[in-house]
Amino acid sequence: MAESEEGPVACGRCRRDDSFSHPVSVILVFAPGFEKPYPLIPGEDYSVCTACDAIYRLIDCAVDAHPVTRAAAPWTRAVVVFSDGRGADIRAKRRTQHLALA
Ligand SMILES: [Zn+2]
């Protein structure tokens, strides 16, 4: 009974438990096929570890879970807005080596 109902939460990737964000309010997805960003609203509270690249997985999963954004993939940028009003501007890490800088 010592622990709260939430219990200890550790990141599945980096194992840290002190770097979780506030719950995600909305993810604005940018993709080449969109004239404007498409908002994805999580169906439940998602907090994400901000100490590693876990947020990329969160975005990938969210994009893949919605038919509109899945069809427009790959996403190029996403703005994750948290319940405290903060935002994270995420640029997709893609295999773009072939776009060599001339
Ligand atoms: Zn992590």
Query: What would the pLDDT profile of 49-88 be if each residue is shown by its tens digit?
Result: 999 999 999 999 999 999 999 998 799 999 999 999 999 9
User: Does 67 fall in a domain?
Assistant: yes
Domain membership of residue 67 as a residue range: 24-91
Q: How far is the CA of 57 from the centre of ligand 1 (A)?
A: 11
pLDDT tens profile 84-99:
999 999 999 865 544 4
What pTM does this model have? 0.81
Identify whether the C-beta of residue 85 lies closer than 8 Å to the C-beta of residue 22: no
Q: How far is the CA of 16 from the centre of ligand 1 (A)?
A: 6
User: Does 98 fall in a domain?
Assistant: no
Q: Give the three-state DSSP class for 78.
A: strand
User: Does 4 fall in a domain?
Assistant: no
Q: How far is the CA of 46 from the centre of ligand 1 (A)?
A: 14
Q: Show the CA angle centred on residue 25, arms to residues 39 and 27, nearest 5°.
A: 35
Q: Give the three-state DSSP class for 62.
A: helix
- Give the C-alpha separation, 55 to 61, whole Å: 10
Number of domains making up the chain: 1
Q: How far is the CA of 29 from the centre of ligand 1 (A)?
A: 22
Q: How far is the CA of 32 from the centre of ligand 1 (A)?
A: 29
